[in-house]
Amino acid sequence: MIKITIIPGDGIGKEVMNAATHVLDSLELNLDYIYASAGYECFQKTGSTIPDETIKLTKKTSATLFGAVTTVPGHKSAIISLRKELDLYANIRPVKSYPGINSLFKDLDFVIIRENSEGLYSGLEDYTREGAVARRVITRRASERISRFAFDYAKKTGRKKVTAVHKANVLKKTDGVFKDSFYKVGEEYPDLEKEDFYVDATAMYFLTKPQIFDVLVTTNLFGDILSDEGAGLVGGLGLIPSANIGDKQGLFEPVHGSAPDIEGKGIANPVAMLLSTSMMLKYLKMEYEAENLEKAISAVLKNGKVVTPDLGGNYSTMDMAREVSKQIKIQNHS
């Protein structure tokens, strides 16, 4: 039996996680769910946003499925802490158009690979007399590691091109290291096309010609911003999954937050959580089941009837999850 850590979190995190475990159950897999706490509600009970027990548990299981958490001002981020503790240095965020979705572009299928361990998310900030200073840490080791991950990902998934995104014309030293590392590693992959763009130009190309992209690799903050822009191209954050991958562990989460404004209403879109679950199954070498799940999600979206209000429907989170489970059964018997 494969053990996975389940961290529902707060707000709609708990609701979309219930949808995910419901759909996982319908796949009849040999999975053992071990629940753990993190986030605001956990902080209220324990005084910690991410207890040591939770971190220890994630290190003992094969993968972690993470819902969403509410930020506690002045206290450490649960998700960033997990990324650091587990050395989940690569963040994979697919941007894909699905049939039946009201989106800006109907033909997109690219992936943003974001360096997850350093940059401006290192948490190295200090107050000064004038205000505050944050250190942007970019190392050759991390830059080469994420570049190699991106090239390996492109090769493994049959993609043809990798684009580095940076701002080396202004951040000459830090992004100079990142850009140089990208091309150094790229020499090991002669069959893959390589290019680089400034982050501001990339943001414009997302709006004018996003079809040119295949795999993008970038630093922490740029990747976070661009992936939200990518979500806007294909229908919103409710459709964007993500995977956090290291050499020994994997954590899978929707890109959206805990959305306390709709907590308890049962109307949260579960698609990003379900697609993140599909990414987890691929990580666990359950490629057939992962593909089956994504096909079922796509069928429900294309049909457009049993969907949540943000997608133009009148159905609940669990209604949509049950419809995905129904599609899985149909596929299994076709």
Task: Give the CATH number, domain containing residue 319.
Answer: 3.40.718.10
Q: Name the pTM for this structure.
A: 0.95
pLDDT tens-place string over residues 115-160: 999 999 888 899 999 999 999 999 999 999 999 999 999 999 999 9
CA torsion angle 262 265 268 274 (round to 10): 140
| The pLDDT of residue 333 is above 90 | no
Domain residue limits at 334? 1-89+240-334
Distance CA 30, CA 304 (A): 31
Confidence of residue 233 (pLDDT cuts 50, 70, 90): very high
Residue with tokens 């992959």: 189
- Final residue in a domain of this structure, among 234, 252, 287: 234
- Final residue in a domain of this structure, among 234, 257, 276: 234
195 close to 63: Cβ distance less than 8 angstroms: no
Looking at the fold, whether 115 and 138 belong to one and the same domain comes out as yes
- Amino acid, res. 65: L
For residue 42 the two structure tokens come to 């956990």
Looking at the fold, whether 122 and 38 belong to one and the same domain comes out as no
Looking at the fold, whether 218 and 297 belong to one and the same domain comes out as no
pLDDT at 334: 67
CA-to-CA dists, residue 257 to 9, 92, 123, angstroms: 10, 17, 20
Looking at the fold, whether 31 and 119 belong to one and the same domain comes out as no
Determine the 3-state secondary structure of 208 from DSSP: helix
- Final residue in a domain of this structure, among 198, 218, 234: 234
Range in 18-22, 77-81, 136-140, 317-321 with the lowest mean pLDDT: 77-81
Looking at the fold, whether 246 and 309 belong to one and the same domain comes out as yes
Residues marked active site are found at 121, 167, 200, 224, 228
For residue 269, being part of any structural domain is answered with: yes
Confidence of residue 322 (pLDDT cuts 50, 70, 90): very high
pLDDT tens-place string over residues 57-97: 999 999 999 999 998 888 888 998 999 999 999 999 999 99
pLDDT at 180: 98
pLDDT at 123: 81
- Total domains, the chain: 2
159 close to 215: Cβ distance less than 8 angstroms: yes
CA-to-CA dists, residue 37 to 72, 154, 258, 276, angstroms: 14, 34, 14, 19
Looking at the fold, whether 229 and 258 belong to one and the same domain comes out as no
Looking at the fold, whether 155 and 223 belong to one and the same domain comes out as yes
Looking at the fold, whether 268 and 294 belong to one and the same domain comes out as yes
Looking at the fold, whether 55 and 160 belong to one and the same domain comes out as no
For residue 219, being part of any structural domain is answered with: yes
174 close to 206: Cβ distance less than 8 angstroms: no
For residue 207, being part of any structural domain is answered with: yes
Nearest Cα to Cα of residue 321 among 253, 266, 252 = 266
Looking at the fold, whether 221 and 305 belong to one and the same domain comes out as no
For residue 91 the two structure tokens come to 């963040």
pLDDT tens-place string over residues 157-209: 999 999 999 999 999 999 999 999 999 999 999 999 999 999 999 999 999 99
Q: What is the average pLDDT across 222-240?
A: 96
Q: Cite the beta strand spans of the chain per DSSP E.
A: 2-9, 31-35, 63-68, 90-96, 109-115, 125-127, 132-134, 161-166, 193-198, 215-218, 241-245, 250-254
Q: What is the average pLDDT across 283-289?
A: 96
pLDDT tens-place string over residues 23-32: 999 998 999 9
Looking at the fold, whether 249 and 230 belong to one and the same domain comes out as no
Element (H, E) at 89: none
Q: Quote the crossing angle between the two packed helices 12-26 and 271-283, to the nearest 10°.
A: 50
Per DSSP bridges, beta strands 161-166 and 193-198 are parallel
Q: Say which residues have a Cβ less than 8 Å from residue 117's Cβ, sequence separation at least 6.
A: 83, 84, 87, 88, 89, 142, 220
Backbone dihedral angles phi then psi of residue 249, each to the nearest 5 degrees: -135, 160
For residue 314, being part of any structural domain is answered with: yes
For residue 99, being part of any structural domain is answered with: no
The alpha-helical segments, DSSP class H, found in 61-190 are: 78-85, 140-156, 174-186
Distance CA 121, CA 99 (A): 35
Looking at the fold, whether 119 and 176 belong to one and the same domain comes out as yes
pLDDT tens-place string over residues 293-305: 999 999 999 999 9
For residue 107 the two structure tokens come to 């033909």
For residue 276, being part of any structural domain is answered with: yes
For residue 59, being part of any structural domain is answered with: yes
For residue 247, being part of any structural domain is answered with: yes
Determine the 3-state secondary structure of 43 from DSSP: helix
For residue 253 the two structure tokens come to 């989460």
